[in-house]
Structure 1
Amino acid sequence: MLWNWKRRNWPNFSFSSDHLKSYEREFLRKAGELSGSLKHISEDEHESLKVDLMSNEAYKTSEIEGEILDRASLQSSIKRHFGLRSDHRKIPPAEHGIAEMMVDLYRTYDKPLTHDQLFKWHSMITIGRRDLLAIGKYRTHEDPMQIVSGRVDLPQVHFEAPPSSQVPKEMQAFVNWYNQTKSIEPLTKAGIAHLYFESIHPFEDGNGRIGRAISEKVLSQSLGRPTLIAISSLIEQDKKAYYSKLQKNSSDLEITDWLEYFCELVLKAQEYTQRMIDFLIEKSKYYRMYDHELNERQKKVIDRVFRAGVNGFKGGLSADNYMSVSGTSASTATRDLQKLVDLGALVRKGERKGTRYYLTIDHPVGNAHGLIP
């Protein structure tokens, strides 16, 4: 197989700018909407949004690589990095490392990309690892760096990166390209940066997580602020398509197909963030309308439903859920739920054991009541 880095014109990727113009315009339009929406939430809500998005991205970017982390530890670690109040739990190394990288990306988005920053990110996400030869530096092993699947005795090679001896030269060219390229539109540059970096695959492990962080850095620099969009969350929903597109574009330098996929991914990520902001706005409206009408049990349950996020309780809030969260009896739960329905704070759907309750918020997710049943 003639991989892209073996091509005579490497790393001069080619693509159709005309195919990407509408994506670039939409990206800037959505970015403006997001910025405007943020003005309608409080400082505390903004901090909450930041922590939720960053911890979810840390979780998802790790999950893409098959590493399942503890969400609560990620949130706690990110809060501590920002000086916010958190619990006192002990944070495992993996959760601490990826959280630290996400916070560093947030704080240094406007700085030039450097080898030292990449080394620092790699050290963060591999903290505590004992199985790697090179931590905080580019790979040095003599074995081919390959992406494989299938049986050990009959592996299928999906991609082979440049040999380790070539990596320093390739990465110097990449860093120069990143910092010196000003004429390419943001979505296009972010998509190229991700594919370019993954094609070099400079580290023993962690290339996917760092490559996705580089894409977010490009987009943040183009907007002059951290993007706070859920790129990894969208990728994780269809990892098969993500890896398929990467593989398909690993043997040629014409990458319009990859860039169209990447642009659509980022636009969907922006929509996800917009829904989260809208949800926070509706949450504030909801509490202003109903908070003074609720007893302590009802407040506790409503708070728990809101903490479930834009998608709410899976399957909706049931009477059993209410009893479990509030610690009350079946008869009291029935009265409390009926009062919430009478107030207009919840809407009831279904009958008997299939009865479920949903927040009455105006939110463009799932249905008119905001939480997906």
Structure 2
Amino acid sequence: MFIHETDNWPYFRWDNDKITDLLARTNKAIGFLAGRLSAIGFDHQMAATVEAVTHDVVSSSEIEGVTLNTSEVRSSVARRLGVTVPETKEPTHYVDGVVEMMLDATQNYSVPLTAERLFGWHTALFPFGKSGSSTISVGAYRMGGMEVISGMFGRERIHYRAPEADRVSEEMDAFLLWFNDAECAPSLLKSAIAHLRFVSIHPFDDGNGRIGRAISDMVLSQADQSKLRYFSMSMQISREKKEYYRILESTQRGDGDITAWLVWYLECLGRAVEASESMLSGVLNKAMFWKTFSAITVTGRQREVLNTYLDGYEGKLTAKNWAKLAGVSLDTAGRDIRDLVSKGMLSQVQGRVRDVSYTINYVAEDAFLRHFSSPEIVQRDGKDYITAFYKDTKKVEERMSDIDRLRLKQKELSLNDLLYKYFAYLTDHD
């Protein structure tokens, strides 16, 4: 028996004792992130939103095996939000359509969700009426049965069987009535339930996962009453895709008790917020870097590779890695790097003779270090954080990446280097 065949469908039940504390912690984490961003200025908030939405669009498609060009997506998102980004790549009409669909959910969160709106989203995902090589019904509910199947021919395993096609329209009418009901206030729980209920109905031939995630994001925007998105649930789901499908199948084969699904969803949401902390620091410091060196001329290749590192590439900045990323010879990579060193944008790590590595100078040293005191590395919950006092009064903290922790241990980076990397953005809004 599948979940839609139970007597209580679609009125789910759950164990409040297992949800209440987790719900409070997740809400607190989201509130803390929003509070942090409220202090950094609108331009940086929009830059963070561009990055979060870009990750959301790319990851949501990636979960379904569809690869989008990240630079194209970022350019499309930035243009629609009116934000200038350092690098641009002209997006295809398809990428523009996918971005428009995802942004419609979060930017127009107060507009009621209707069948016509869902049909428009579906058309944006499949503008040519094809899913791979198969022709599908586009901009309309499916006309046939739907099963999620894996395994070889003759040994197939049915993971889930959705409601029959003649039930879909009625099921979706009920879903939309519930979704738009003003008395059913938007919340993290509603986001989780909306996702589960929609993908369980599975109203379209394809694209249900992406549209279901857009719907859950829409509820999150409704709950925040904000068009700005600072974390990507889809990116976190992509990281945990195996567990996502496991808990989804388990719940859809259950008896209507969705406690396990809610626990997983809220925990995943918490991890998405935590992951956004690192992304946020990177976005802010990237903006600070290009502002600091706005008067310096660099080549397109230099800008592209620098942005790769500024976007979080975890390899060391060496001539060998530069050559690999840029697709050039080692000699050319060396000339690129020496030029950036001469312009003050990079510094050589001291004490290295072979395989010399470099660090990025986010801001000028004399305009930065004097603001900080008592920097140290602390461990909490098995993770390393760099902390310091900013202007002797405000304690600041950022989670360190694994590669930075290793490089610090190997003495390739100093605490001052890490202060540059994780807190450069603070000097932009003194």
Same fold (TM over 0.5): yes
1:250 maps to 2:252: yes
The corresponding residue for 1:162 is 163
Cα distance in 2 between the residues matched to 1:164 and 1:350:
69
Partner of 2:31: 32
Aligned match of 2:241 = 239
Q: Distance in 1 between matches of 2:97 and 2:286?
A: 32
User: How do 1:114-153 residues align onto structure 2 when only pairs under 5 Å count?
Assistant: 114-130=114-130, 131-141=134-144, 144-153=145-154
Aligned-residue Cα RMSD (Å) equals 3.4
The answer to whether the 8 A contact 1:249-1:258 is kept is yes
Deviations 1:298-325 (A, max 9, x none): 99858843554452x3312102455786
Q: Which piece of structure 1 moves more, 41-50 or 255-264?
A: 41-50
One-letter amino acid of the counterpart of residue 208, structure 2: N
- In 1, are the aligned partners of 2:348 and 2:356 still within 8 Å (CA)? no
**Structure 1 residue 273, shift from structure 2 partner:** 2.3
Instruction: From the superposition, tell whether residues 135 and 322 of structure 1 become closer, same or farther in structure 2 (CA, over 3 Å).
Output: closer
Aligned to 1:262: 265
Residues 364 and 358 of structure 1: is their aligned pair in 2 closer, same or farther, counting only changes over 3 Å? farther
Distance in 1 of aligned mates of 2:136 and 2:287: 51
CA distance in 2, matches of 1:56, 1:331: 32
Offset, 1:3: 0.5
Q: Deviations over 1:257-292 (max 9, x none)?
A: 11110001111111222322233344456667x649
Is the Cα–Cα contact under 8 Å of residues 298 and 336 in structure 1 kept in the other structure?
Answer: no
Following TM superposition, by how much is the alpha carbon of 1:350 offset from its aligned partner in structure 2, in angstroms? 8.4
Instruction: State the one-letter code of the partner of 2:38.
Output: K
Alignment of 1:292-307 (within 5 A): 296=297, 301=302, 304-307=305-308
Match in the other structure for 2:274: 271
Matched position secondary structure for 2:349: strand
Name the stretch that deviates more: 160-169 or 228-237. Answer: 228-237
Paired residue total: 362
Partner Cα separation in structure 1 for residue 267 and residue 307 of structure 2: 29
The amino acid across from 1:316 in the alignment is: K
**1:198-218 Cα shifts (integer Å, max 9, x gaps):** 111011110000111111111
3-state secondary structure, aligned to 1:314: coil
Q: How many Å separate the matches in 1 of 2:165 and 2:332?
A: 65
Match of 2:399 in 1: 364
1: CA distance, partners of 2:337 / 2:195: 53
What is residue 20 of structure 2 aligned with on the other side? 21
Q: 1:309 and 1:262, CA in 2 relative to 1: closer, same or farther beyond 3 A?
A: farther
- Amino acid of the residue matched to residue 17 of structure 1? N
Instruction: For 2:209 and 2:81, locate their aligned partners in 1 and report how far apart those are by CA, in whole Å.
Output: 25
Closer, same or farther in 2 for the Cα pair 1:304/1:330, shift >3 Å?
A: closer
Partner of 1:57: 56
| CA distance 1:353–1:128, change in 2 (3 Å) | farther
Which structure shows the higher strand fraction?
2
- How many angstroms apart in 2 are the aligned matches of 1:269 and 1:11? 27
Q: Does 1:180 align with 2:178?
A: no
Deviation readout 1:89-117 (Å, 9 max, x if unpaired): 36142x23211111211221122222222
Residues 168-203 of structure 1: per-residue CA shift (max 9 Å, x gap): 111111112222274577221111111111111011
Pair 1:257–1:282, CA change in 2 (3 A) = same
**CA–CA distance in 2 between the matches of 1:175 and 1:200?**
12
| SS of residue paired to 1:68 | coil
Structure 2 Cα separation of the partners of residues 322 and 242 of structure 1: 36
- CA shift in 2, pair 1:37/1:279, >3 Å: farther
Change in 2 beyond 3 A, CA 1:146/1:41: same
What is the TM-score with the length of structure 1 in the denominator?
Answer: 0.83
Partner of 2:110: 110
Secondary structure of the structure 2 residue equivalent to 1:210: helix
Q: Distance in 1 between matches of 2:78 and 2:260?
A: 38
In 2, are the aligned partners of 1:350 and 1:356 still within 8 Å (CA)? Answer: no
Inter-partner Cα distance in structure 2 for 1:71 and 1:331: 27
Structure 2 runs not aligned, ≥5 long: 363-385, 387-397, 405-414, 423-430
What's the % identity of the aligned pairs? Answer: 29
Verify the 8 A CA contact 1:40 1:281 in the aligned structure 2.
no
State how far apart, in whole Å, the 1-side matches of 2:24 and 2:258 are: 20
Contact 1:347/1:359, CA 8 A, preserved across alignment: no
C-alpha spacing 1:349/1:100, structure 2 compared with 1 (3 Å): farther
Q: Tell me the amino acid that sits aligned with residue 47 of structure 2.
A: S
Please state whether the residue corresponding to 1:103 is helix, strand or coil. helix
The 3 A distance-change label for structure 1 pair 139 and 103 is: same
**Is the contact between residue 41 and residue 280 of structure 1 (CA under 8 Å) also seen in structure 2?**
no
Unmatched 5+ residue regions in structure 1? none
In 2, Cα distance between equivalents of 1:165 and 1:26: 41
